[in-house]
Amino acid sequence: MSGCTLRFARNSPLRTTLVDEATGHAKYKLETPMRIARSVTRIRKFESPAQSPLHSSEEDDSDSGDDDIAGNGKEGKPNPPEENETEGELQETSDEMARIYWKWFSSNRIIFRGRITTRDELLPKCGKLKGSFTFTGPDGVQYRWALGSMGMNRPKLVTIDDKTVIAEFHRPNHITNKQKARLEVQPAGMNMLDHIVLTFVIVDQTRREREAAAWHTVPWMIS
């Protein structure tokens, strides 16, 4: 089995389509309604080219300045969603893989394949290494997302035991404006691509928030 490179149609990690560079077909779509009080990200997965939406040239335009707003929600189960969400913003669809309920002051709530969990349960921080998050894959192997050095990092997923690289994020090239952000996944990670995409979205948003705080800016100004 070969690996794949998922290109971000937009450089936002919360509002974009992940396109398989080899085939040109959309593999995942991330949707996050514009809200201040509360924010929910839905990840849709397209199993076949026939399911994937037509690629819109609008997504290749400059990113919106509000791409990474993440609000806080109320405690309790995430269902039912807010009324305006049900009325057309994030209606449940058959291709929905996961939802992330972002919060400011407590652990984000996540629904993944029908199971409710939290960020701290899914991705506990690695105590010895600052800026690292771990998770156990469906194969029982432990993996670690490392954020790297502030401002120069490329989030990388490695196995904890032998440090084998499974996936790596490449930032967009703002100088030439020709290279979009992309997530490169090695063959060893293809059997858990859903887990990689979900955990990357959470880890990358955490990275942006951390860098934004350090630079006294806002997350959507960080790439």
pTM: 0.78
8 Å CB contact between 114 and 105: no
Extract the tokens encoding 179.
């290279």
Find tokens 């029982």 and name the residue: 140
Strands 156-159 and 165-170: antiparallel
The 3-state secondary structure of 95-125 reads: CEEEEEEECCCCCCEEEECCEEEEHHHHCCE
What is the pLDDT at residue 70? 44
What is the pLDDT at residue 125? 79
* Number of domains, the chain: 1
* Residue in 211, 190, 198, 28 with CA at minimum distance from that of residue 110: 198
Extract the tokens encoding 155.
């989030």
186 vs 206: CA distance, rounded Å: 23
Which residues, in sequence order, are CB contacts of 204 under 8 Å at separation 6+? 13, 155, 169
8 Å CB contact between 153 and 207: yes
Each of the 223 residues of the chain gets a pLDDT tens digit; together they read 799 999 999 888 799 999 999 999 999 999 998 765 568 999 999 987 766 665 544 444 444 444 443 443 333 333 333 334 433 455 556 799 999 998 866 678 999 999 999 988 999 877 555 668 999 999 999 999 987 665 556 789 999 999 999 999 998 876 666 778 999 999 999 999 999 999 999 988 887 777 777 666 545 444 4
**Residue 165: alpha-carbon gap to chain centroid:** 18
Which residues, in sequence order, are CB contacts of 151 under 8 Å at separation 6+? 211, 214, 215
What is the pLDDT at residue 67? 42
Enumerate the β-bridge partners of residue 221.
none
Extract the tokens encoding 51.
């399911």
Give me the chain's average pLDDT, please: 77
Give me the domain span that covers residue 161: 4-221
Interval 9-59: pLDDT, tens: 988 879 999 999 999 999 999 999 876 556 899 999 998 776 666 554 444
Pinpoint the alpha helices (H) of the chain: 83-84, 119-122, 193-214
